[in-house]
Structure 1
Amino acid sequence: MSQATLRTGRILLVPLSDDHLEYEVELDSDPEVMRYLDGRARTRAEVEAFHRRRLAVAGRVPGLGFWAGFVDGEFVGWWILEPPERADQGPADGQAELGYRLLRRHWRRGLASEGARELIRHGFDDLGLDRIFAETMTVNTASRATMAAVGMRYVRTFHLDWDDPIPGSDLGEVEYTIIRREWLSRQADPDRELVTDA
């Protein structure tokens, strides 16, 4: 299965390609966008290296990968569903990590959650995933709010080894998750409380 083009009410999500490199450079060169990732802007050479890695994700598990998001033809950011990479994230089969990164001028418009909801739907509905999870720094309250808004629940706080710690890294990372059963029950009854046993 190749990576699908997806649509929401406002966002066109297209599989990431070499055509999107300049957008990625703009995105990752903003230190505020990168505040909870590297703690600094990335150089063009670093972005080019990450771009190659991002493209490779689509080849690892059919249907998964990065998507570039456009609203009315304007690039707003990217979203991702990728297989787990670390042993503590669990087995790769049947699950994927959700992520998103938006240009600062498109923050606080509900776009991160809109795109994330579509990727969750795509993951469960189209790809048959069993579990989708997301991670961020404990101090990244905006991203945590997005995770909660799309129906994910807090699972754990954990600590990674940072080569070059950034402010807040001492408080660890958090993981949020949603499983297929929870998502299906939410679709059947949007007002129903999420099932909390994994």
Structure 2
Amino acid sequence: MATFLVTERLAPRPFSEADVDHLLDLDNDPEVMRFINGGRPTTREAVRAESLPRFLHHCPSLDNRVFWATEERTTKEFLGWFVFRPLDDHSSAVVELGYRLGSAAWGRGHATEGSRALIHKGFSELGVERVIANTMTVNARSRRVMEKVGLTFVRTFFADIIEAPSSALSSTG
């Protein structure tokens, strides 16, 4: 598979079966999972049966993957992942942006750098017309990344994830 994207410091790559331990470590960091599932641990079986199949999905409208294991370019250290997933597998018009980085990568601009690069690629090469992202309203760090990459607050909605409202942000090219 050809290189999808490279930034100054990041080297996203397709996930493989060999990434189970990376995903397990990431999903068992209570700080990383705080706003996702309340910090509950994830089992190896759940990573293999639920997470990895989603991460290996090939999207017809992009003719590529939508989840990207992301490493630091020079050290090859696993940092986490990004997702750039069309809401409809057969149309790249509206794409959801997401990211999950290990806490060791926080505060270093990686989420902003990767998100900006994906948004640019989407609008300039992939036929994307709108990018959306969601986060818990109380997740100020994630909201700040979304704002820095040009997404605009759209609405607050209530979901049955954790007892806190979520925010939706979006951007159009």
Unaligned runs of 5+ in 2: none
Supply the distance in 1 between the matched residues of 2:23 and 2:61 (Cα, whole angstroms). 22
The aligned counterpart of 1:107 is 106
Question: In the TM superposition, what are the counterparts of 1:1-198 in structure 2 within 5 Å?
Answer: 4-39=3-38, 40-48=40-48, 49-56=50-57, 58-62=58-62, 63-71=64-72, 72=74, 73-84=76-87, 94-162=93-161, 166=162, 169-170=163-164, 172-180=165-173
Supply the distance in 1 between the matched residues of 2:60 and 2:28 (Cα, whole angstroms). 27
Supply the distance in 2 between the matched residues of 1:75 and 1:109 (Cα, whole angstroms). 14
Post-superposition offset of 1:60: 4.8
State the TM-score, normalizing by the size of structure 1.
0.78
- Output the aligned Cα RMSD: 1.9
Q: Flag the structure with more relative contact order, 1 or 2, with Cα contacts below 8 A and sequence separation at least 6.
A: 2
Post-superposition offset of 1:44: 1.4
Distance of aligned partners of 1:44 and 1:6 in 2 relative to their CA distance in 1, 3 Å threshold: same
The aligned counterpart of 1:189 is none
Supply the distance in 1 between the matched residues of 2:6 and 2:52 (Cα, whole angstroms). 23
Distance of aligned partners of 1:64 and 1:3 in 2 relative to their CA distance in 1, 3 Å threshold: farther
1:146-187 CA-partner distances (Å, limit 9, x unpaired): 00011111011111134xxx3xx33x110111101xxxxxxx
Count residues with an aligned counterpart: 167
Post-superposition offset of 1:83: 2.1
Distance of aligned partners of 1:173 and 1:44 in 2 relative to their CA distance in 1, 3 Å threshold: same
Q: Which amino acid aligns with 2:132?
A: F
What secondary structure sits across from 2:32 in the alignment?
coil
Contact 1:3 1:15 in 2 (8 A): no
Supply the distance in 2 between the matched residues of 1:100 and 1:3 (Cα, whole angstroms). 21
Contact 2:135 2:166 in 1 (8 A): yes
Distance of aligned partners of 1:100 and 1:179 in 2 relative to their CA distance in 1, 3 Å threshold: same
Unaligned runs of 5+ in 1: 86-90, 181-198
What secondary structure sits across from 2:54 in the alignment?
helix
Q: Percent identical across equivalent pairs?
A: 39
Contact 2:155 2:169 in 1 (8 A): yes
Supply the distance in 2 between the matched residues of 1:3 and 1:80 (Cα, whole angstroms). 17
Relative to its length, the structure with more strand (as a share) is: 2
